[in-house]
Structure 1
Amino acid sequence: MGTEARLDLAHEWAGHWWLPEEPDRTLEGTLRYDPDDGLRLSLTGGFDDRVRVPLGNGWVGVMNESKSWPAVLGLAEGTAITLLDCHATNTEWRGIGFGEPHEQTIRSPAAFVGVHLHDDGQEVFTESLVSVEHLALWADASARPDDEPSVVVDGTSVTLSRDHPDAVAVRFRPGGPFPLGTALEHAKAVQDLVSLATHRACALLSVRLRTTPEQPEAAAYFQRTVRGGAGAADLRSALFTCRDIPFEEIVVKWWQVRQRFTAAANMVLGLRYAPAHYVETRLLTAVGAAEVMHRALDLDEKHMPKHEFNELRDMLLEHAPQEHRAWLKEKIRNDVTLQERLLALADLPDAAAIQRLVPDAELWARTTTRARNDLTHTGQTPQQSLDELIAVVSVTSAVVVLNLLQQLGVPGERQRKLVEDHPEFQRTAGEAKAHLT
């Protein structure tokens, strides 16, 4: 199943289907998975999804709503299949009143092929195997095929599994049984790491699981946010690979960085996973990523020591008219400004890399702050041209990425080389020089 259980390929299973609480009542039907459309089960007949309410005196009312089912089970050519969190999108009835369904279409966000579950919270899996687009490139697949580096993170064994150079996956083995949610979280962590490292949106290709080492693999199917397939990647487009930072080191660091900087990483990667069509939306996302990155760094976020600020505030309040004191107390803040946050972020990565990326950091921070404030307060950015806004988004995103690389331990020499040689960083530096100096 390993090479066939691909999330980027369409699949179809014809078989029999039933509800876990009604195992003796089976229906014929076909399950189809499409990478763009997700999972759709077409049944001959159907399950009663009407919600009935007793009205008294033997009368029963039918509510204007539908049931959903935690799971629908199936058997196709001897293979167990589970559909989770199911609901009917179309039901055709044989007659009126309380007749039986004639045909039914059921939608599900996730399916398992190879195992039966009753809900997505069952802790029945012992191992998951995740494959991501361009994983082999990042893993430096030129290494020996029998080289499978491994490390333990938070009690989970994480291994780079090499069946052969073209089939590289990351295997997770926690200390005990785990549910679907854990497997999907592990998959997302690998996807984010490879997307950050290769500097492109990388799609999940497969998520395979085992309940026991002796059992065959079960494959998870779900509609992906990232489609991938945007062309071949090469080492020149990667920010770093396992050749720069060994697998055992980068996995540990990524788990730490991702836990601490989840919001910033999600936002800056979101610009690649689901790029917005409007520069204003991209601006708010990039600046938001910078703000939450700065907050997560736990830097000094106060203009002055707390006791000095309290003394100053009390003095101002004492001399303010009584009717304005509540307003004044609300307005006086000791937090740093967005401009100060941006400048602080520019001070953390390699200095030479930042200087080349954004020669005039003061102007970048000032322009970014003005654009963000105008946009959030008025919905417009009249003081900046479109080229300036594009440069602000590119530079701000690049500064957040460099800070993530800094936290991951990417050396300053590598940061400088990226800014000098990487096509996208070169383009960003050119935009900054043209519009932000």
Structure 2
Amino acid sequence: MSPSGGIRDEPIEVLGKWWLPETPDHKVNGVLTFTEEDGARLQLNDALRPNAEVVWDDTQPDGTRVGHVTSQSLQHAGTYPRIVGRADNESYTLEDCFRTRLRGSLGLGDAAETVHVNAVLRGIEFEADEAFEFTSATVSLTQLTAWSGINGITVEHHRVAPGANDSPTPFVTVTASTVPTLEVPFDGGSVRLLHRMSASPQIPNVMTITQQARVQVSFDGEELRPLPDFVARVNDVQDLVTIATGTTAAKHHFQLTHPDTGGPPADYFVRWNNRATTDTYLHSTEMLFTLADLGTDGLAAWLKTATTFQSELRRITATKYQPSMFLEDRATNLMAALDSLTRHGKKKPGNFGPRITAAIHEVGEPFLTLIGGDDAGWTEHAKQRRNDLAHHNVGVLETSSSSVQLTREMYWLTVLLLLRRAGAPAAVFDKIGRSSEFTFLAEQHAAQRAAAPPS
């Protein structure tokens, strides 16, 4: 990938030699492919496991040898925790792989197979039993550059009078400067927002300058840590940007640093579930709130809160990342998150209804305005919906406008509750309350309330 990165991970299609780390002398030719939509696949023109691992020879009394293939050996032959390879002068490590198709006779020297690959690491070759650990991770997120407000490009348009071209006259002056790194600590490490710039090769009539904000996660002491530790911290930032922008802040250009690379970071490719649905640049005025509204201290507080309520946060944002999620599944995720959030830190949490009312008042504005101040009515409606979902009552699969509206309101109650507990400044809540999305929801709530029959 180019230094500037893109908003999509590049597709891969490389021909190389591939082998299992434990049998380095048995190398197989094959093509590795990867796309964001389909993930990674390895097409091999021979069996990846040597015949000796699949066929066991027994020597008979007369000296003849008979080969045996068992169901256990066939199952073992198609499971590959790790595959390594070399293609286009690059080292590769393929993680968590398994065979999806076999052609020919396994164990007899004429087999070919197709292998599903869950993750691709380009730039380093791991040993068979080496832990999949790193010292830092750096990733780009859709809309992060706009949300963060990190900008090193200024443009000055000069007024040029007609006919004033007798001598060179500036028309546009573009200044591109790097922006200092913003570092935000969390317990045991730090998140950095890096500013990266690149320029396309200059040709006579076009030159493009690109800038990008990237998230870098590292832990104290630069010690090796498992990949999930880094992904969890990246997800905390990703969830925040997704909430703040109202669009999926998809990961791309994911890189991992390891002491053995001895050069640039290794590129990590995986089929992320939460992929961006649009590449359209979102202006900061279209966002619910920005980093400038939240502040650096607010970002640090968010990271701490996200660690405490990580499971709840993932449930909440899952309803944003999965557009095809059924309405009842959205409601169930949000109800579970709300239930857990309102139980936190309480030895005797009490009943669901009073906890919801308390959560509404903990959030305060702008949620009270959204529901017209009717905390008791909203609590009763939410409690009934929860009971319907829990007991599979009639209407649990209802997709009426009322059910859709309630689910959207539940989303905002949980989000605002997390932001309150993170100590987000008043500017964040003020901007959310004045946003077009929140205003629309308030209008819909009022209209549905006015149309509802008297209780």
Q: TM-score, normalised by structure 2?
A: 0.79
Q: What letter corresponds to residue 171 of structure 1 in structure 2? A: Q
Contact 1:371 1:384 in 2 (8 A): no
CA positional deviation for 1:83 = 0.3
Distance 1:408 1:260 in 2: 10
Aligned: 1:60 with 2:108: no
Contact 2:289 2:432 in 1 (8 A): no
CA positional deviation for 1:271 = 0.6
Cα deviation code 1:25-62 (max 9, x no counterpart): 21111100011110001111122398668999777351
Q: What letter corresponds to residue 170 of structure 1 in structure 2? A: V
Percent of residue pairs identical: 23
Aligned: 1:226 with 2:277: no
Alignment-derived partner of residue 184 in structure 2: 151
Alignment-derived partner of residue 201 in structure 1: 248
Structural mapping, 1:207-218, within 5 Å? 207-212=254-259, 214-218=262-266
The CA RMSD over aligned residues, in Å, is 2.8
CA positional deviation for 1:6 = 6.9
Distance 1:264 1:113 in 2: 33
Alignment-derived partner of residue 76 in structure 1: 87
Contact 2:319 2:325 in 1 (8 A): no
CA positional deviation for 1:23 = 1.2
CA positional deviation for 1:340 = 1.3
Structural mapping, 1:356-375, within 5 Å? 356-359=369-372, 360-375=374-389
Deviates more, 1:126-135 or 1:157-166: 157-166
Alignment-derived partner of residue 102 in structure 2: 91
CA positional deviation for 1:425 = 1.2
Alignment-derived partner of residue 342 in structure 1: 356
**What SS does the aligned partner of 2:329 have?**
helix
Distance 1:379 1:237 in 2: 40
Distance 1:300 1:430 in 2: 38
Distance 1:184 1:121 in 2: 19
After superposition, the Cα gap between the structure-2 partners of 1:237 and 1:269, relative to the gap in structure 1 and judged at 3 Å, is: farther
Deviates more, 1:128-137 or 1:163-172: 163-172
CA positional deviation for 1:89 = 0.8
After superposition, the Cα gap between the structure-2 partners of 1:385 and 1:81, relative to the gap in structure 1 and judged at 3 Å, is: closer
After superposition, the Cα gap between the structure-2 partners of 1:385 and 1:76, relative to the gap in structure 1 and judged at 3 Å, is: closer
Q: What letter corresponds to residue 353 of structure 1 in structure 2? A: P
Alignment-derived partner of residue 36 in structure 1: 37
Distance 2:421 2:69 in 1: 60
Alignment-derived partner of residue 311 in structure 1: none
Contact 1:45 1:102 in 2 (8 A): yes
**What SS does the aligned partner of 2:71 have?**
strand
Q: TM-score, normalised by structure 1?
A: 0.82
Distance 1:214 1:51 in 2: 37
Deviates more, 1:4-13 or 1:102-111: 4-13
CA positional deviation for 1:3 = 4.1
Distance 2:328 2:218 in 1: 43
Q: What letter corresponds to residue 84 of structure 1 in structure 2? A: E
**What SS does the aligned partner of 2:293 have?**
coil
Alignment-derived partner of residue 196 in structure 2: 163
Of the three residues 278, 288, 304, the one matched with 1:239 is 288
Contact 1:48 1:100 in 2 (8 A): no
**What SS does the aligned partner of 2:424 have?**
coil
Distance 1:7 1:408 in 2: 31
Q: What letter corresponds to residue 397 of structure 1 in structure 2? A: Y
Distance 2:447 2:196 in 1: 48
Provide structure 2 residue ranges, at least 5 long, that are not aligned to the other structure.
61-65, 153-176, 198-209, 451-455
Alignment-derived partner of residue 254 in structure 1: 302
Contact 2:55 2:67 in 1 (8 A): no
Distance 1:151 1:117 in 2: 31
Alignment-derived partner of residue 116 in structure 2: 107
Distance 2:258 2:311 in 1: 32
What is the number of equivalent residue pairs in this alignment?
398
CA positional deviation for 1:252 = 2.3
Distance 1:121 1:154 in 2: 27
Distance 1:74 1:398 in 2: 47
Contact 1:123 1:177 in 2 (8 A): no
Distance 2:270 2:397 in 1: 44
Q: What letter corresponds to residue 142 of structure 2 in structure 1? A: E
Cα deviation code 1:134-164 (max 9, x no counterpart): 1101211236732211133233232211013
Distance 1:282 1:383 in 2: 11
Q: What letter corresponds to residue 340 of structure 1 in structure 2? A: P
**What SS does the aligned partner of 2:292 have?**
coil
Contact 1:8 1:227 in 2 (8 A): no
Alignment-derived partner of residue 442 in structure 2: 429
Alignment-derived partner of residue 293 in structure 1: 341
